[in-house]
Structure 1
């Protein structure tokens, strides 16, 4: 399975506005999106701020989508995961499962707005997201 691109890093913060302001100020980031937990359910019931920093995104969450669904216990602040864009999340999952039997899938595939996403653990427990842009 070959991803199309590296898309983002996701962070968990105690104060979304302060963390977003830091990345905007220190790294010349631009806030491109804000989301409210009140506007979603399940994986989308999270507060978040998305920033464009250089040519990638930094997402700042109050909790991860997989925390919101109850798929994992609450996680500490800091780096949550990173994400790769793929053409088809289901096909990517099947390819990974075929090449790496026993991979632990944390969540998905699930819809997250205009995305289909899935999360897996690498051998050291790092969470990796697969992202498919859908309409």
Structure 2
């Protein structure tokens, strides 16, 4: 064979191999990018979804006593109440407006259980009032436990006070102008604030509304939610310097948030828990006997969140 022809064939063969390799690498790269692109599409749902805080669930030792305190001292209304004797519990929903548009507390009484451990992780609920001084005097007159007298917050001007309900749950009273949602905060303590913020942003579609570090008192707080603090309920996360773990007790249970699609929302949570921690505790689907679709999960600090199908939730309210 002609030497020049031989060399030409070798060079041509090398060119072909190089082209094949380039095509293979491009294809492999596309395949490698496909899962990531798919994950991004899944994660986008949390930001697109229409969500709001529905209610916080916790246990009390005397349902009638707590209802009396919340209505007469704090100014809440009983929104609905039900007794389930076959499962030996009763619960009541209270708040400052209809559940269709307002945040509520769901009080659960388990037959025969009159005391619970709140633990060190749960912080408080908060109520916005146009006159905290007047509210505190009303609570005091009815025998309520005032744990911080009303006055400006340290280093600021906002007037606040703290009171404790009959079961030991703390309520912060915050003075502010008229608001559509007086039941305005749920505060939980976390061991890694940045991780928790990232989790609630990605898994729950919340926005970081503000973050404040208070080095003099060695803590940092972050407010997250779906609208401005003066318009809706927000989640307040607190990090105390150097504290990475808290006890949960058996009193506070969970917070419920609405979603337009529990299946898509669960897929988001599944991805985020793999990255940041936490776990799904109930796969998406209808609750037997009620048919309201839900999914539930724990955040990286072990706090439970339940996502509830909004259309099903509204149907449930129609039956009350």
- Using structure 2 for the length normalisation, give the TM-score: 0.34
Structure ranking higher in helix proportion: 2
Give 1:126's aligned residue.
Answer: 303
Q: Distance in 2 between matches of 1:114 and 1:53?
A: 27
Aligned residues: 119
Q: Distance in 1 between matches of 2:71 and 2:283?
A: 31
C-alpha deviation, 1:114, in angstroms: 6.2
Give 1:51's aligned residue.
Answer: 94
Give 2:53's aligned residue.
Answer: 6
Give 2:258's aligned residue.
Answer: 85
Q: Which runs of 5+ in 2 are unaligned?
A: 1-45, 111-248, 316-320
Q: Distance in 1 between matches of 2:69 and 2:292?
A: 27
C-alpha deviation, 1:99, in angstroms: 3.0
Q: Distance in 2 between matches of 1:120 and 1:4?
A: 16
The answer on 1:94 being equivalent to 2:267 is yes
Bigger Rg over Cα: 2
Does the CA-based 8 Å contact 1:27-1:53 persist in structure 2? no
Q: Distance in 2 between matches of 1:22 and 1:38?
A: 24
Moved over 6 A (4+): none
Does the CA-based 8 Å contact 2:278-2:301 persist in structure 1? no
Moved more, 104-113 or 119-128: 104-113
Moved more, 97-106 or 1-10: 97-106
The answer on 1:27 being equivalent to 2:202 is no
Does the CA-based 8 Å contact 1:48-1:62 persist in structure 2? yes
The answer on 1:111 being equivalent to 2:279 is no
Q: Distance in 1 between matches of 2:292 and 2:73?
A: 29
Q: Which runs of 5+ in 1 are unaligned?
A: 64-74
Does the CA-based 8 Å contact 1:97-1:103 persist in structure 2? no
Structure ranking higher in strand proportion: 1
